[in-house]
Amino acid sequence: MPLKIKRFSETGYLHIYTRGVAKQIIFEDRKDHIYYMNLLKRFSQETDVKICAFCLMENHVHLIVYDANHHISRFMQLLGMTYSGYFNRKYERSGHLFSSRFLSVPIEDEDYLLTAFRYVLNNPRGANICPASEYPWSSYNRYGHSDSFVDTSVFQELLGSKKDYEEFIAAKYEDCPELEDIIHDDEWAKSVIRDVLKIQSGTELQKYDWKTRNQALRLLKENGLSIRQIERLTGINRSTVQRA
């Protein structure tokens, strides 16, 4: 499914998502992560796209940026082309590294800005890797650092002290519905239900005993469905899905 592009925000803030083609790994070792972060700094300065948060996962990247002048396309083009060239040379491969075009989600209010911020930094937690505070390849430890290329000033205004920030991030892990619904629409989710659970409709889970139902709900989450999608397509309430 092609990823959408050039969805601008009235506030200037965007949630950016890009991933490896066919979910390929795009960071093999420590040097790859460092090289990509250096590119974030370099092209942020060259294009005046401010990096407010980032998280580099094994096969995808999340960014929150401030792009007052609509330079995000140029920024992502420079970032993607330069990193792809480096990666292909290093690992003796050819062809596209990233899947289609990047995805941008406009951030129009403070609530979604904070939701996206916590979601981005908590990606390692959501993937059962480690807590956000222990993950080395995100901007978690750059909060409030004036010498960092990451500009966290907007979050400092909204959250306050470093302690308040740490408590906010640690409070819970939550899906980011606006992003998940664009990446994976309901038609895709229905196909996952059919392929993984071998049933025609998610509502059939309502007939299962609780143990079998919970196993099925976990399988759906592990295969990429958001909690909101699972609730919508199975008719099982959100709290039950979250507990499972």
| Structural domain total, the chain | 2
pLDDT single digits (tens) 179-225: 665 566 677 778 878 888 999 999 999 999 999 999 999 988 877 78
171 and 206 in a common domain: no
pLDDT single digits (tens) 95-121: 889 976 788 889 988 998 999 999 999
Note the Cα 65 to chain centre separation in Å. Answer: 13
Q: Of 176, 194, 212, which closes a domain?
A: 176
* Mean pLDDT of the chain, nearest integer: 88
**Structure-token pair, residue 149:** 């290329």
Phi-psi region of 22 (alpha: psi -120 to 50; beta: other; left: phi over 0): left
What is each CA distance from 193 to 189, 197, 222, 229, in whole angstroms?
A: 6, 5, 12, 11
Q: Which domain holds residue 69?
A: 13-176
The pLDDT assigned to 1 comes to 28
Residues in the chain: 244
Contacts of residue 113, defined as CB under 8 A and 6 or more positions apart, other chains included, come to 11, 13, 64, 107, 154, 158
The pLDDT assigned to 2 comes to 31
188 and 158 in a common domain: no
Average pLDDT over residues 153-176: 92
135 and 81 in a common domain: yes
Considering the domain boundaries, does residue 4 fall inside one?
no
Q: What are phi and psi of 15, to 5 degrees?
A: -100, 115
- Reply yes or no on whether the pLDDT at 5 is more than 80: no
198 and 101 in a common domain: no
Considering the domain boundaries, does residue 5 fall inside one?
no
Q: Of 155, 176, 197, which closes a domain?
A: 176
What is each CA distance from 12 to 23, 50, 185, in whole angstroms?
A: 29, 10, 26
**Structure-token pair, residue 50:** 């401010």
Strands annotated E in the chain: 13-19, 50-56, 60-66, 103-107
24 and 100 in a common domain: yes
| 3-state DSSP assignment of residue 28 | coil
Q: Which residue has the tokens 């469905």?
A: 225
Residue 132, classified by CB atoms within 10 Å of its CB into exposed (0-12), middle (13-18) or buried (19+), is buried
Whether the predicted model's global pTM rises above the 0.85 cut:
no
The pLDDT assigned to 22 comes to 73
Considering the domain boundaries, does residue 202 fall inside one?
yes
Give the residue among 115, 119, 127, 2 at the shortest CA–CA distance from 57. Answer: 127
The pLDDT assigned to 104 comes to 85
C-alpha 93/C-alpha 40 separation (Å) is 23
3-class SS letters over 216-234: HHHHHHHCCCCHHHHHHHH
29 and 89 in a common domain: yes
50 and 139 in a common domain: yes
Residue predicted with more confidence, 136 or 173: 136
Q: What are phi and psi of 182, to 5 degrees?
A: -80, -45
Judge contact between 155 and 143, C-beta under 8 A.
Answer: yes
